[in-house]
Structure 1
Amino acid sequence: MGVTRLRFAWTLSTRDIAVKTLFILFGLAFAWPAQAQLGRSRALSPSKPTQTPTPPSAPTLNLMPLPKVISASRNIKLWDTSGQPTLQIDPNTGDINALALGTKDGQQMLISGGADGVVRLWNLASGAPGDTFAVNHGPITALALSPDNTILAVGAADGSISLWAWQQGRLLAAVPAHSDAVTGLLYAPDNHTLISAGADRQIRVWLLFDNGRRIVLRSSILAHDAPITGIALLAGATQVASVSEDGYLMTWNLATGAQIRRIFVCERGVTALAASPDGKTLATGDSNGHIRLWNAATGMPLAFQGNLPQPPRTLLWSADGTMLICGAADNTLSFWNVNTGKQVACIAAHDGPVRALILAP
């Protein structure tokens, strides 16, 4: 009987060992791939990243050279064809709202106007300051230089327009042109027709006589239902286009004041306007951050559309009409190929919104 019990115990022990061994082997077989996969997952996705991911960088310059432009915010910068600043001017006078270019004594001069109500001249080659003259009508909101380089028209926040023999710093004439701020000024090619736009919703056409010593209102157009934000000449200076906070792009016959076209652009308002050098295409920027192109003759939208995180403040065409430059509320300058619809470059240009743009010589 003792032998029988011993054999039974040995048999049971052997069976238990075999069963346990099988369980261990099966457990290892199933556990190993899971552990290996878990190890790989941990290696690929650590629970605590070692560094913060770098945000996507702005679009970089491709092989296409950029137009040379001058931009203004609280300072002024001249940009070369590679998108690098070659000159910086720091007036320390607040926001700069308008720029113009002229020639004085054989030198290229940059003309600026802004929040301090003073017109300032700068030598474009060196950035050295030149003459200044106070307009005395509040902040300067618009500038336009006559085609013959002699008469500077200055629009101000109080709605006035003043005419200056800018090379001598001499006031020629002044007129209370609008009941609110002047938001745009343009000279016609004839040298004595000046077109103004205002926050009072009006477009006005002025005639200059006696070498700018007298300015006379020729016609007035109540163009929009909200402040006008930009104007541009079309069709050999026989038409003017305008955009407004009311969300519309309009075109007008300058001789008769008749409306030619009314185009809805954006329910939140249109913020910028520019006409191509040949006058055949209009570019608009709106409060949704969109840049659109329009056929000036038909009013039909073109396929191009640029998108920005903040509204465009000012638009400018390159001299050959192949590129559109945008200064935006997010402090950037962006360059767009109008033939491909692609953004060529985007530059963090200033520490504040880009308020004015002009092509550099």
Structure 2
Amino acid sequence: MMRIAFVLLTLAYGGIATAQELRGHGGPVRAAAVSADGAVALTGSFDQSAILWDLARGSAIKVLRFHQGAVNAAVAVNGLGFATGGEDGRIALWRGDAPEPAKVIEGHKGPVAALAISPEGQHLASASWDGTVRVTALADDSARVLEGHQGPVNGVAFAPGGMVVSSGYDASLRLWPADGGAPLIVTTPVPLNGVVTASDGEIAVAAADGGLRLFGPDGAQRAEIAVGETPLIALAISPDGATIAAGGLRGQVALIDRRTRTIRATLVGPGLPVWSLAFLPDGRQLLSGGADRLVRRWNAVTGEHVGAVVPRAGEDALAAFRGERGAEVFRACAACHTLTPADGNRAGPTLHGIFGRRIATAPNYAYSDALKGMDIVWSKESVAKLFEIGPNAYTPGTKMPEQTIGSAEDRQALVDWLEKVTQ
């Protein structure tokens, strides 16, 4: 699978984000989930990170780094926090803003594409490109493995009565009974992506032809709604089941009234394509994540942008340096790196005392083995070189997402400023 590297927590060097945007990810926002109380969201990205967001303040609480590859899926886990699924085939359970997962679930042999939590919160279902669905009991990590899809499984959901529903690239929708019996297999004309279910048992599935297909719990197709002409790749259903949001490859997001089977609003302006959608608990607001690396907040009734969401990672530690070019360039790094010994390490090591320090020697930071064997001492010249040619070329094997600064003037401003503030 082609791996795409992007900048982590990129802020436009010269710009200020508009109010409805959460900026932070360095790659397309692949996954989104919202806590049951609507206070916190978690998003995952192709940049290999997840970010916890305080939705009331519009600020990043914590950058979570664990997966070796894209974070493809996220779900709120009742009373426990969130779960993420990655390209590495692993599932991580996060409690609060702890920097490390509380639990890691393994077993898949391919990327995890989707996650779902059972209504009682005791089982986690995961869909994978290894062709299987796994239903894991969170109490003891025992797993029921559902096999039969002929290719990647792209979607999974729980239906009433404990039934599990899965959708796959093999153009099949499979309804797995809770008692472990053989699944009901529904064949469609085109490959399928995400799937969601309503409390009355109705199933909605996103298709590669741009259509949203609705099925009953008996597998009978009830309706087909044309959303676009390109694949639908993001799907969410409001908690009350009244509205389905469907996002596609060209950036269209349709808000569909499930009762009338009509599109009542279309969101204008999401990044192309739209990879992730998540409703807030009231069902009146929606988060979208797209290829433009932004998380956007919407009124799910009118389709308008909403909320005074201020895109900052907590308090602005760089406010005292407003107007200094080096500080503005550093904003792309501020969520992962601190500047003072009191602030310590984050997703990346502290930069306090970086000049004159040998690579991979900052105290109490878990460096990759590849960096530990390198013979680099950080200087203004070597830091500038890092951002000129990128981490993958200058420090092969690093966990740092790919990032370059194309302007020589910006690179010089950054290292001059770092020399001043990291001593």
TM-score, normalised by the number of residues in structure 1: 0.71
Distance 1:123 1:231 in 2: 26
Contact 1:228/1:245 (<8 A) preserved: yes
Cα shift at 1:270: 1.7
Cα shift at 1:324: 1.1
User: What count of residue pairs does the alignment treat as equivalent?
Assistant: 283
> Which structure is richer in relative contact order (CA contacts within 8 A, separation 6 or more)?
2
Contact 2:172/2:192 (<8 A) preserved: yes
Question: What is aligned with 1:168?
Answer: 140
Question: What is aligned with 2:49?
Answer: 75
Cα shift at 1:319: 0.5
Cα shift at 1:167: 3.1
**Counterpart pick for 2:187 among 212, 215, 222:** 222
Contact 1:132/1:169 (<8 A) preserved: no
**Counterpart pick for 1:203 among 162, 165, 173:** 173
Contact 2:265/2:301 (<8 A) preserved: no
Contact 1:119/1:135 (<8 A) preserved: no
**Counterpart pick for 2:163 among 186, 193, 211:** 193
The answer to whether structure 1 residue 245 and structure 2 residue 219 are counterparts is no
Question: What is aligned with 2:92?
Answer: 120
The answer to whether structure 1 residue 99 and structure 2 residue 99 are counterparts is no
Cα shift at 1:125: 4.2
Cα shift at 1:116: 1.3
Contact 2:175/2:183 (<8 A) preserved: yes
Query: Counting strand residues as a fraction of each chain, which structure ranks higher?
Result: 1
Cα shift at 1:203: 1.0
Cα shift at 1:226: 2.6
Distance 2:76 2:238 in 1: 19
The answer to whether structure 1 residue 325 and structure 2 residue 290 are counterparts is no
The answer to whether structure 1 residue 59 and structure 2 residue 18 are counterparts is yes
Closer, same or farther: CA 134–289 of 1 in aligned 2, 3 Å: same
Distance 2:241 2:119 in 1: 17
Distance 1:227 1:94 in 2: 24
| 1:16-75: CA deviation from partner (whole Å, max 9, x where unpaired) | xxxxxxxxxxxxxxxxxxxxxxxxxxxxxxxxxxxxxx977542149xxx8531111111
Distance 2:266 2:76 in 1: 30
**Rg larger for:** 1
Residue identity (%): 28
Contact 2:284/2:299 (<8 A) preserved: yes
Cα shift at 1:272: 1.4
Distance 2:67 2:204 in 1: 34
Q: CA RMSD in A?
A: 2.7
The answer to whether structure 1 residue 311 and structure 2 residue 311 are counterparts is no
**Counterpart pick for 2:256 among 274, 294, 298:** 294
The answer to whether structure 1 residue 275 and structure 2 residue 237 are counterparts is yes
TM-score, normalised by the number of residues in structure 2: 0.61
Contact 2:115/2:125 (<8 A) preserved: yes
Q: Which runs of 5+ in 1 are unaligned?
A: 1-53, 210-214, 353-361
Cα shift at 1:325: 0.6
Cα shift at 1:109: 4.0
Question: What is aligned with 1:43?
Answer: none
**Counterpart pick for 2:154 among 175, 183, 191:** 183
Question: What is aligned with 1:88?
Answer: 63
Q: Which runs of 5+ in 2 are unaligned?
A: 1-12, 22-37, 314-334, 336-400, 403-423
Cα shift at 1:303: 3.7
| 1:201-250: CA deviation from partner (whole Å, max 9, x where unpaired) | 111111123xxxxx323412113x3321221213x333111111111111
